[in-house]
Amino acid sequence: MDPDKARARLLKLAEVIVDADAEAMEWETLLANATETAETFVGLDEWLQKGGFLPAAWRGGAQGRNRSPIHAIHGLMDGVEWSPATLDAIAEVLRAAGLQLRGPDDEATP
C-alpha cells in the first residue's frame, strides 16, 4: 500500500463524484467510482490500522514528527499474522525513510 497514491486516488475519485452532474452521469459510472472510492478507503484504513504511515499531506504536528520507521514497522508486525504483504509494507516504510533496498543481485555501492 502506498498511502500517498491511495490519498491521491481518493481525491480524484471524490472530485469526479462531487463535480459530476448527477443527471448526466451514468449509473454504472457513478457506481464504479463509488465502489473504487470505498475499496481504496478500506485499503488505506487497513494500512493505517496495521501501523502504516500517513500520506505525506496528512503528516505533521507532533504525531507525524514522532512516528519513527521502527514504530511503523512494529505496528505492521504486532498482533497480526505476517504475510508477503507484511514484507512489502515494511519495505515501503524503509523506502519512505530514505533507505535504499537492494536485491540479492544488486552490487553494493561504495
pLDDT tens, 37-94? Answer: 999 999 999 989 888 888 888 876 544 445 678 888 888 888 878 888 888 888 888 8
Quick check: is 108 in a domain? no
Q: Is residue 53 part of a domain?
A: yes
SS (H, E, C) 61-87: HHHHHHCCHHHHHHHHHCCCCCCHHHH
Number of domains in the chain: 1
Whether this prediction's pTM lies above 0.85 is answered by: no
- How confident is the model at residue 62, as a pLDDT? 47
pLDDT computed for residue 10 by the predictor: 93
- The neighbour count for residue 75, using CB atoms within 10 Å, is 19
**Chain centroid to CA 93: how far?**
10
88 in a structural domain: yes
- Residue 40 lies in domain: 3-96
pLDDT of residue 37: 94
